[in-house]
Chain A
Amino acid sequence: MLAVEEINRAGGVSGREIELVCLDPQCQPRRYAELAEQLILEHRVRVIVGCYMSSTRKAVIPIVERHNALLFYATPYEGFEYSRNVIYTGAAPNQNTLPLAGFMLTQFGSRVSMIGSDYVCPYESNRVMSDLILERGGEKLDETYLPLDAPWESYLDAAKRIKQLAPDFIFSTVVGEGIPHLYRAFAQVRLDPYRTPIASHMTSEAEIAIMGNDLAQGHITSATYFQSVGTAANLGAVARYQARFGDDQPTNMCWEASYFQMHLLADAIRRFGSDDPTLLLRVLPGLEFDAPQGRVRIDEHNNHTYLHPLIGRVDARGRFDIIGRAPERVKADPYVVSHSTPAWTAQAHPELARAGAYR
């Protein structure tokens, strides 16, 4: 939304303004399909941005393919997909799970507990993590899946059980509303995040704002963007974001991908002066942009994006202290089955000791 306003304030694209048509599919995959078709047929929309969970993206893909529309998808997902009508700007597993696995297994050890929400993305992330643990002779202590609407008590039970197992770290693929429950449960059973952190690739500033900084502090997330990134592009974008939406509103990975993909789209439209997806698809692959995370590029062959993997640990202010970063942007490899962890995650020598006094 911020990107659209910026683009329009700067004169729009090819003399016209970008207009957002917003519909709310209420998290139901079927509604996503219906509304996507409604956008295309009734609102004459050619380009759709959105979808969060994989099931909603899968529901929209046949629609955009049938009508030759274009979907921009900004969420990290589990890989193994390519549609010529989708541009993927969130991280693929080799850009978030893999750096996280390499970092955690090297820095904390390879006795791991896994907890996730019960759907496809966590299963796939845990498969990758399990293979890497086995390769290192480590041990997968347990693997728990909770329904997306699981109550707080289920998280508390899981936390008690996991504490008994005494893992080196907890790999969490819990998404959405479960995230605050999870962190609160671990705080309640008094697991010290500086010794046994939760490592996640989904927990962002947005979830931390909901659960509160004290619950999140010390836990670790892998993402291709944190609000604390120090690029000039990010400092400017965060300032504009907070001026527009409020000083206390944090930015996060999904926002950042949505933000830069809108700018990429505007650039592509400017090249042809048209929003015809067939024309856009001729320029989008290979297109680059100075995103808040750094310079990104849409790959010519797989429609995914070169991104900048980071490892962050939550500090007392609820921001991510960046304790590991890839030396350069990383090409998305959505079809890699057998992973090897990037060298930089083993070579990172972060200051893992607790900053400040023991609470």
Chain B
Amino acid sequence: MKRAAQTPAILRDLRSLKVVVIHPRDQDCEELLAQLQRIGCDVEVCWPRLDALPCNTGLVIMAIRPEALSVDYPWLGTSTSPPVIPVVTYENPITIEAVLQLNAFATIPSPVRSFGLLTAIAVALTQFKASRSRERYIERLEQKQAKVLVIRQATRIVMDSRGMSEEDAYQLLRSQAMLKREQIETVAGDIVKAYETLSF
């Protein structure tokens, strides 16, 4: 395995990581807090409800307990919600389903031990970041794909109505866009819309 020239940013930034721990005050919670403090994170604890996340929360560690399965966390699953690492006490299907719903990249088994927490945090943060940037990339691709489709439709309309070659039709769209100081997909969209309006 090749080693990176420099320590990954995720590890270097751990000391400024804000961690919210949603966990009842018990032995596991104490173990978690002590280890998070050894690692040097900024920690806040609450249980069982948390209606709004404190700002700059970079990670949530959440106990999955039967008594809290019905609690609604409105910030979960939104585009701004941070990664969640579940602390798992049971392995029954209900609990596992709850874990899966959280879209977790790492889990912490109960009873909590100090060893393993740092790795779980590093994996969760890294995979979360990768997944977010993949989502953004896909979104951009989809938008681009939609634009390409509209431009192709508009080109086809110009070709048919003016008897032009594909290349000439495209160049016409392009020069119109430059003239109006618009993006080519905007001009193309107008043409497609106008064509659809005319041909009821």
Contact = CB atoms under 8 A, between A and B. Distances in A.
Given A82-B114, A83-B114, A83-B115, A338 B38 contact: no
B38 A335 contact: yes
Contact of A82 (B6, B12, B38): B38
A338 B7 contact: yes
Contact of B37 (A83, A130, A134, A301): A301
How many interface residues does chain B have, given as a range?
Answer: 10 to 19
A95 interface: no
B6 A130 contact: yes
Residue picked from A84, A134, A333, A337, most chain B C-beta under 10 Å: A337
B89 interface: no
Interface string B26-55: 000000001101111000000000000000
A142 interface: no
Given A83-B114, A83-B115, A337 B7 contact: yes
A183 B115 CA distance: 37
B112 interface: no
A83 B5 CA distance: 30
Contacts of A352: none
Residue picked from B3, B7, B15, B40, most chain A C-beta under 10 Å: B7
B164 interface: no
A114 to B, nearest CB: 13
A302 B7 contact: no
Contacts of A301: 34, 37-38
Contacts of B14: 337-338
A252 to B, nearest CB: 29
A131 B6 CA distance: 6
B5 A81 contact: no
Main secondary structure of the interface of B (DSSP, over half): helix
A338 B14 CA distance: 9
Given A336-B40, A337-B11, A337-B12, A82 B35 contact: yes
Nearest to B35: A82
A80 B118 contact: yes
Contact of A335 (B5, B12, B118): B118
Contacts of A127: 7
Interface string A327-345: 0000001111110000000
A130 B5 contact: yes
A111 B122 CA distance: 31
A83 B115 CA distance: 8
Contacts of B118: 80, 335
Nearest to B11: A337
Contacts of B15: 336-338
Nearest to A127: B7
Contacts of B6: 130-131, 134
Interface string A129-161: 011001000000000000000000000000000
A127 B3 CA distance: 10
Contacts of A334: 38
A306 B82 CA distance: 36
B16 to A, nearest CB: 10
Interface in B7-23: 7, 11-15
A84 B38 CA distance: 13
Residue picked from A82, A83, A134, most chain B C-beta under 10 Å: A82
Nearest to A304: B38
A142 B14 CA distance: 28
Given A335-B118, A337-B14, A131 B39 contact: no
Contact of A81 (B3, B34, B115): B115
Contacts of B40: 333, 335-336
B119 to A, nearest CB: 10
Interface in B146-190: none
Nearest to B16: A338
Nearest to A334: B38
Contacts of A81: 115
Nearest to A84: B114
A302 B40 CA distance: 12
Interface in A70-90: 80-84
A127 B118 CA distance: 17
Contacts of A338: 7, 11-15
Given A131-B7, A334-B38, 15 more contacts: A81-B115, A82-B35, A82-B38, A83-B115, A84-B114, A127-B7, A301-B34, A301-B38, A335-B39, A335-B40, A335-B118, A336-B40, A337-B7, A338-B7, A338-B13
20 contacts: A80-B118, A82-B115, A84-B114, A123-B3, A130-B5, A130-B6, A131-B6, A131-B7, A131-B12, A301-B37, A333-B40, A335-B40, A335-B118, A336-B40, A337-B11, A337-B12, A337-B14, A337-B15, A338-B12, A338-B13
Interface of B: 3, 5-7, 11-15, 34-35, 37-40, 114-115, 118
- In the A-B complex, the 6 residue pairs with the closest CB atoms: A338-B12, A335-B39, A337-B11, A82-B114, A335-B38, A302-B38
